C-alpha cells in the first residue's frame, strides 16, 4: 500500500487535475490512499473571506466566497459534462454561507478553521467525481471522521490513538479490496464536530500520519518542482535538485522555514522507517528526491529565506538576569502558539525573531510587556544557510543590516534589515 499527496498546485487547473488522474490511473486496482490539498490559492482566498467575516464585513465576505464558489463550479462543469454529482459541492457551499450570515461571537481562529477547511473538501469532491467519470473507481472519505483533534484552532493536535482505531475500521477494509481512497489534507475535527486545521501546509503531515497508521510502503508527495531543491528557484535561479536527503536534514530544513515539507511530516515516517519521495507531477518520469534514514554526504549549501519577520527586544525591568525568566518566556510563546525562529540572550536582555502572525504576534508582545520592557521591529528577513561557506554568506547578506547572527559548524542564521 502506498500514500500519495497532491499539493494545491497539482490540482489548480483543469489540465492539472487531469494530469493527477493520469498518475492515479497507473495504480488502478492497487491499494492507495490519496491526500489532496485545496485547489491552487483557494486557502489564501478563504483566509480573506474569514478576515472579512470577522471584522463584520458580511457583504464583502459573501462576495469573496461567491468568487470561490463560481470558480469551483466552473471547474466541475468543465471536467464533468452534465454536472452529475454537483449537488455535493452545493451542500458544502451552503454550509459556509450559513456561517457567513451569522455574527462572530468566538475567537478568530475558530472561524478561520470553519471557513478555510472547506477548500480541501471542495477539491476532493471534484476529484472524486472526475475520477469516477474517467472510469477510475475511488472512495471519498471525510478525514474529519478519522483525525480527532483538540480545540487548538489553526494548529490542532491530532489524537493518534483515536486516528489509528478509526483508520483500521474505515480504511483498512477498503484497502484490502485494492481501492483508491481520497482524503483531505490539513483538516480534522474536535469531539464536538467543530472543524480544525493542522497548521499551514499541513497536508504533508496528514499524509505522513496515514502512512504511519496504515504501514505504507512509501509516501510520495507530488509537487510542481523537480524535487527538493537547495533553494527557492523563484529567488535563486541557480537552485538545483538534491537527489537524496535523510530525515534529519529534512527536519532541519523544515524547522528553518524551507517550504518543501511541513515540519511535522518526518516523525511519523521516521518512526516506521517509511521512505518519502518528492516528485514532479508535470513530469512523472523524473526521479525526484528520495528521503530516508541513511547518511547522506556532500550536500550543497541549502538556502532558506523567511520574510515578514518580527524582532522582539525584551529587557529586564529591574536589571535582574534574564536567564531566570526563561521558563516564563517559553510559556508566553506556547500560549501564543508561536515558534521562535531565533533566540539570543544577553545578561538582562533577550531578542526573539518570530514570524509575523498578526494578532498572535500582537498578543505575544502584549503579554511580554506585562513582564519586560518590550520593543518590536517588523518587516525583517531571516536568512538561514545549511552547509555554508563564508563567501556565500557574504554575498547573500550584502546590502542589508545584520541585526542578529548565530553560527554553528553546520548552519548560520542572520536576521537582516533590508535597505
pLDDT in tens, 195-212: 999 987 789 999 999 999
- Asked if the model's pLDDT at residue 151 lies above 80, the reply is yes
CA dist list (Å): 26 to 3, 17, 21, 23, 368: 14, 15, 9, 6, 55
Residue 145, domain member (yes or no): yes
The CATH code of the domain that includes 320 is 3.30.2130.10
Residue 139, domain member (yes or no): yes
Q: Is the dihedral of CA 78, 82, 87, 90 positive or negative?
A: positive
Distance, CA of 81 to CA of 246 (rounded, Å): 45
- Which grid cell sits at 391? 563567501
From 245, 273, 292, the end of a domain falls on 292
Provide CB contacts within 8 A for 222, sequence distance 6+: 4, 5, 6, 7, 10, 20, 23, 279, 280, 281
pLDDT category at 257 given cuts 50, 70, 90 is confident
Distance, CA of 329 to CA of 396 (rounded, Å): 31
Three-state DSSP state, 104: coil
Is residue 277 located within the same domain as residue 371? no
Is residue 189 located within the same domain as residue 166? yes
Distance, CA of 244 to CA of 267 (rounded, Å): 18
Three-state DSSP state, 41: coil
Is residue 358 located within the same domain as residue 382? yes
Residue recorded with cell 537547495: 230
- Compute the average pLDDT of residues 250-264: 82
From 292, 311, 340, the end of a domain falls on 292
Is residue 288 located within the same domain as residue 349? no
The CATH code of the domain that includes 248 is 3.40.1160.10
Count Cβ neighbours within 10 Å for each residue of 218-237 and write b for 16 or more, e otherwise: bbbbbbebbbbbbbeeeeee
Residue recorded with cell 481562529: 109
- Asked if the model's pLDDT at residue 254 lies above 90, the reply is no
Mean model confidence pLDDT for the chain: 93
Domain that holds residue 346: 302-418
Is residue 229 located within the same domain as residue 373? no
Distance, CA of 159 to CA of 419 (rounded, Å): 46
- Asked if the model's pLDDT at residue 256 lies above 80, the reply is yes
Three-state DSSP state, 158: strand
DSSP at 299 = P
Is residue 360 located within the same domain as residue 398? yes
Residue 317's pLDDT is what? 84
Q: What is the pLDDT of residues 39-85, one digit of tens each?
A: 999 999 999 999 999 999 999 999 999 999 999 999 999 999 887 88
Is residue 89 located within the same domain as residue 136? yes
Is residue 249 located within the same domain as residue 308? no
Is residue 276 located within the same domain as residue 356? no
Residue 275, domain member (yes or no): yes
Lowest mean pLDDT among 9-18, 329-338, 401-410: 329-338
From 292, 327, 347, the end of a domain falls on 292
Orientation angle between helical segments 87-100 and 42-54, nearest 10 degrees: 30
Distance, CA of 404 to CA of 408 (rounded, Å): 14
- Asked if the model's pLDDT at residue 174 lies above 90, the reply is yes
- Asked if the model's pLDDT at residue 263 lies above 80, the reply is no
How many other C-beta atoms lie within 10 A of the C-beta of residue 191? 11
- Which grid cell sits at 344? 539570543
Distance, CA of 141 to CA of 179 (rounded, Å): 12
Three-state DSSP state, 195: strand
How big is the chain by its Cα radius of gyration, in Å? Answer: 23
Cα angle, residue 42 at apex, residues 259 and 159 outer, rounded to 5°: 65
Residue 283, domain member (yes or no): yes
Distance, CA of 336 to CA of 357 (rounded, Å): 10
Q: Is 103 in contact with 53 (CB distance < 8 Å)? A: no
How many other C-beta atoms lie within 10 A of the C-beta of residue 152? 16
DSSP at 371 = T
Residue 82's pLDDT is what? 83
Task: Let me know how long the chain is.
Answer: 419
Provide CB contacts within 8 A for 106, sequence distance 6+: none
Residue 78, domain member (yes or no): yes
Domain count, the chain: 2
Three-state DSSP state, 337: coil
Q: Quick one: which of 44, 45, 62, 42 has its CA closest to 53?
A: 62
Is residue 310 located within the same domain as residue 387? yes
- Asked if the model's pLDDT at residue 237 lies above 80, the reply is yes
Count Cβ neighbours within 10 Å for each residue of 49-75 and write b for 16 or more, e otherwise: bbbbbbeeeeeebbebbeebbeebbeb
Is residue 95 located within the same domain as residue 146? yes
Residue 297, domain member (yes or no): no
Residue 8, domain member (yes or no): yes
Q: Quick one: which of 249, 243, 199, 258 has its CA closest to 382?
A: 258
Is residue 39 located within the same domain as residue 18? yes
Residue 307, domain member (yes or no): yes
Amino acid at each position: 500500500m502506498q500514500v500519495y499527496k497532491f499539493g494545491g498546485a497539482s490540482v489548480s487547473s483543469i489540465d492539472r487535475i487531469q494530469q493527477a488522474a493520469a498518475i492515479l490511473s497507473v495504480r488502478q486496482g492497487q491499494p492507495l490512499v490519496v491526500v489532496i490539498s485545496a485547489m491552487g490559492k483557494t486557502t489564501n482566498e478563504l483566509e480573506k473571506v474569514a478576515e472579512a467575516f470577522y471584522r463584520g464585513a458580511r457583504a464583502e465576505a459573501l462576495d469573496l466566497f461567491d468568487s470561490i464558489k463560481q470558480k469551483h463550479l466552473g471547474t466541475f462543469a468543465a471536467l464533468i459534462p452534465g454536472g452529475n454529482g454537483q449537488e455535493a459541492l452545493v451542500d458544502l457551499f451552503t454550509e459556509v454561507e450559513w456561517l457567513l450570515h451569522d455574527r462572530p461571537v468566538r475567537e478568530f481562529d475558530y472561524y478561520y478553521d470553519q471557513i478555510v477547511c472547506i477548500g480541501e473538501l471542495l477539491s476532493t469532491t471534484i476529484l472524486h467525481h472526475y475520477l469516477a467519470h474517467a472510469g477510475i473507481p475511488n472512495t471519498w472519505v471525510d478525514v474529519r471522521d478519522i483525525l480527532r483533534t483538540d480545540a487548538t484552532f489553526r494548529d490542532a493536535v491530532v489524537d493518534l490513538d483515536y486516528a489509528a482505531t478509526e483508520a483500521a475500521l474505515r480504511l483498512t477494509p477498503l484497502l484490502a479490496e485494492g481501492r483508491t481512497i481520497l482524503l483531505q489534507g490539513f483538516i480534522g475535527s474536535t469531539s464536538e464536530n467543530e472543524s480544525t486545521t493542522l497548521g499551514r501546509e499541513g497536508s504533508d503531515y496528514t499524509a505522513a500520519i496515514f502512512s504511519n497508521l496504515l504501514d505504507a510502503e512509501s509516501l510520495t508527495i507530488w509537487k510542481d518542482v523537480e524535487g527538493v531543491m537547495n533553494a527557492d528557484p523563484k529567488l535563486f535561479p541557480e537552485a538545483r535538485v538534491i537527489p537524496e536527503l535523510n530525515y534529519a536534514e529534512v527536519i532541519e530544513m523544515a524547522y528553518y522555514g524551507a517550504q518543501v515539507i511541513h515540519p511535522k511530516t518526518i516523525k511519523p515516517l521516521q518512526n516506521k522507517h517509511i521512505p518519502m519521495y518528492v516528485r514532479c507531477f508535470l513530469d512523472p518520469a523524473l526521479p525526484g528526491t528520495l528521503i530516508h534514514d541513511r547518511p547522506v554526504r556532500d550536500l550543497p549549501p541549502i538556502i532558506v529565506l523567511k520574510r515578514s519577520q518580527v524582532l522582539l527586544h525584551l529587557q529586564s525591568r529591574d536589571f535582574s538576569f534574564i536567564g531566570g525568566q526563561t521558563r516564563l518566556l517559553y510559556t508566553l510563546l506556547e500560549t501564543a502558539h508561536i515558534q521562535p525562529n531565533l533566540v539570543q540572550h544577553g545578561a538582562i536582555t533577550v531578542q526573539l525573531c518570530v514570524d509575523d502572525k498578526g494578532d498572535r504576534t500582537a498578543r505575544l508582545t502584549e503579554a511580554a510587556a506585562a513582564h519586560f520592557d518590550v520593543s518590536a521591529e517588523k518587516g525583517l528577513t531571516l536568512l538561514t544557510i545549511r552547509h555554508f561557506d563564508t563567501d556565500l554568506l557574504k554575498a547573500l547578506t550584502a546590502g542589508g543590516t545584520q541585526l542578529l547572527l548565530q553560527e554553528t559548524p553546520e548552519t548560520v542564521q542572520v536576521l537582516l534589515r533590508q535597505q
